[in-house]
Chain A
Amino acid sequence: MLLETVNLTKKFGGLTAVDDVSFSVEKGKINAIIGPNGAGKSTFFNLVSGYYPPTSGQVFFKGEEITRLPSNKIARLGIARTFQTTNLFERATVLDNIIVGNRLRTQSNLWDAILRTPRLKREEQKCLDKAYEVLDFVNLTNHAHSVVENLTQEEKKRVAFALALATEPELVFLDEPAAGVNPDETEGLAELMKKMVDHGITVCLIEHKMQMIMSIAENIMVLNFGKKIAEGTPEDIMNDEEVIKAYLGGERHAEVK
């Protein structure tokens, strides 16, 4: 158990986007969160990654409480994330986007910059090496000098992965990594996630593509209207009545696919 939430709740005014959710991310596995649109999945990510504080409840990482830590500190502990909409710097090259990803593992400060100290030079080299390493990992080395806005959607997703990996995380949260990507490419991204796990990085993703989830995830949580309605292996989930109801539409959810 790498990360654990206890009774996590987030209210936006009258709306409870995440409602009393207790969930554990299992180490060394691909974990997934599914649920209809607006179920609170992204909000859940935002809570565990410190993007905003929960209304109540707690988050633990490796047994240590991280509930109200700011997101930059959480990143330093080894949790990385991607956003639902990739917000890379479109007008810069892939490499320029990635290099700063390892900044959190460096020490050099303003004085190092002004005085051009050996430490700065060493760390700059380290960031560059790291950038090439993660680009190699996601198979984008040949695009290192391409400008991001000229890449395909799938390539951008890979860049976002690479940036997350450059922070040297133990756990990555991926928000809809395969959205807007065609089936063949989805396959490739799924492979990439498996590769991360093989390299000792735990993955937790949000996805709407059921087929993909069912084939790669080992531990799934289902959210609906902010509440956890099921948790378990793909088989458990596929046979869960409440999940079927939420997805296939009881009376209230008819409009959700």
Chain B
Amino acid sequence: MTTNSNPLLETQEVTIKFGGLTAVNNLSIEVNKGEIVALIGPNGAGKTTAFNIITGVYAPTKGKVIYDGKDITGLKPDQITRMGVARTFQNIRLFKKLSVWENIMIACHLRLQSNFAGAALRFPKYRAEEKRMREKVHRLIEEFGLSRYQDDQASSLPYGVQRRLEIARALATEPKLLLLDEPAAGMNPKETEELTHFIREIKDKYDLTVLLIEHHMDLVMEISQRIYVLDFGETIAKGTAEEVQNDPKVIEAYLGVEEGA
């Protein structure tokens, strides 16, 4: 669909079945470098499942996931993260009992070169690595306005701050592609507005490509270059914000849900 022959992320006719249920059917999306792309659709449409396939939580029943020109289908989540794909979770999955600082430090571990003996015995190489990790985490904490929470247990933070921490943690893995699963869930319009700017800001600063799932339409319409719409696992529409907004199938899908509700 785009002239760019080399998207950063591409899913090729990805299908996944859970027993009799086809949660995602023939999903083919492309995300080009530097874009912000949204995945929308009613509840249960298969959006989170698509994220889970891209990040290796599930292996698809059929189809391929290509990232940065490499076939990553069936790789494990940690391998995919190491290649530069980071994510947040719809139901916030922080390390609840650990501090804010530890949460972000953990996300630096994947780039560590020292082995366990070097780490435990504090070899100079490890000391240098630990120092660099601490600096990086310190920078992220400042940038995300988490300084005053630094030593607090993650579960004790206000909801919005937890969401911010989850993004900070994802960035600590040094991703090229960031997947955000409903980052504005539970936020009021003002917070959503702030988040919108914030996503743009970090995207530019860290040279990211973003794929996001969101129900807040103002955020989606404002921020994303392109949108894919899923319903019952099918891709019912794709295109720019206006194209999608005026698509009768999309209107029907959303209205259909409201009627049913």
Do A and B associate with each other?
Answer: no
Q: Which residues of A contact B (CB under 8 A)?
A: none
